[in-house]
Amino acid sequence: MIHPPRLQTGDRIGVVAPAGPPDQECLHQAVSFFEKMGLNVQLGKNIEKVNGYLAGTDKERTEDLHHMIINPEIKAIIFARGGYGTARIASYLDYTCIKRNPKVYWGYSDITYLHTAIRQQTGLITFHGPMLASDIAKDNFDHVSASMFEQLFRPITYTYSEQFGPLHVFAEGEATGMIVGGNLSLLVSSLGTPFEIDTTNRLILLEDIGEEPYRVDSMLNQLKLAGKLSSAAGFMLGDFADAKAKVTPSLSMNAVFQSYFSNLNKPVIAGFKMGHCLPNLAIPLGVEGYLSTGNKKLIAKPGVQ
């Protein structure tokens, strides 16, 4: 795997919106967060574009991302928000160029598709963490989430445990493997494409928002039938926000998780504060991890060199 170079004070970072259009007031408000870190911020030239539920056309969003990739002054690319749209541009990206110009890529939610595509096409480590307009600009953005950006400035080995909230074990065990994953619906949407998620001997992070139990059931079933659950080394279940069933009767989310994970002969821990929640604990994807139910912890090796 390729570790992107760490950031230094005075570095320039690029901000683009490869999916949905960000609220411009929130976007500009969040810029100061990075400036206080000693970083300079450059916004994509098309970041104000709106094309329905997309932040401009596929061409415009791809152009903004490519410009940041090839610009040697840009040391990191932080995504403005998620929404929908990254899968539409995945096949247009120049992965050879991405590999030749390794830098930090940071975001989550719909950005999961780019995390998966970039890692599997180039071997580059990327970062699953909070974004500008959808997280950092909010009044309740907390210091724990903010502190996670420290891992971009120096190699940090993180331990994720019940220090950040209660964890629940669905299947006992311990395992090591590459940490991959992200948003459940995006991982499912990769199946049958050139960017299909590889779960073989991996530790899989799963999170989502606004999906009722029956929808999560359907998506986990698809992963199961595709062999993605049986091939994995273990699972970390992150936050599943706004997941209350709108119709009754319904299985609970825990009952859904129980049916898919309790009989797996591999560790499965739920409750990690990763995803659409606060704190939103950032984690590098593509690094080696260690998951243990004995002391309910996940250890992730550093993402930068």
Residue 6 lies in a domain: no
pTM for this predicted structure: 0.97
pLDDT at 198: 98
Domain boundary pick from 152, 185, 211: 152
Residue 37 lies in a domain: yes
pLDDT at 228: 98
Other residues' Cβ atoms within 10 Å of the Cβ of residue 25:
10
pLDDT at 247: 85
Catalytic one of 128, 211, 276, 292: 276
Asked whether 98 and 68 are in contact (CB, 8 A), the reply is no
Residues 46 and 108 in one domain: yes
Which structural domain range is residue 120 located in?
12-152
What is the token pair recorded at 279? 């704190």
Catalytic one of 60, 109, 189, 190: 109
pLDDT at 289: 98
pLDDT at 220: 98
pLDDT at 295: 95
Asked whether 219 and 181 are in contact (CB, 8 A), the reply is no
Rounded Cα distance between 109 and 83, Å, is 7
| Helix 213-225 × helix 253-261 angle, to 10° | 10
- Radius of gyration of the chain, Cα coordinates, nearest whole angstrom: 18
State the DSSP string of 160-186.
Answer: ESGGGS--EEEE--EEEEEEEEEEHHH
Residue 207 lies in a domain: yes
Residues 120 and 249 in one domain: no
Residues 58 and 81 in one domain: yes
Domain boundary pick from 119, 152, 185: 152
Counted domains in the chain: 2
Residues 113 and 180 in one domain: no
Residues 148 and 21 in one domain: yes
Residues 81 and 141 in one domain: yes
Residues 212 and 265 in one domain: yes
Residues 57 and 136 in one domain: yes
Q: What is the CATH number of the domain that holds 146?
A: 3.40.50.10740
Residues 139 and 164 in one domain: no
Among this protein's residues, is 276 annotated catalytic? yes
Catalytic one of 63, 185, 190, 207: 207
Domain boundary pick from 152, 181, 197: 152
pLDDT at 292: 98
Residues 142 and 177 in one domain: no
pLDDT at 239: 97
Rounded Cα distance between 255 and 160, Å, is 24
Among this protein's residues, is 109 annotated catalytic? yes
Residues of the chain with pLDDT under 70: none
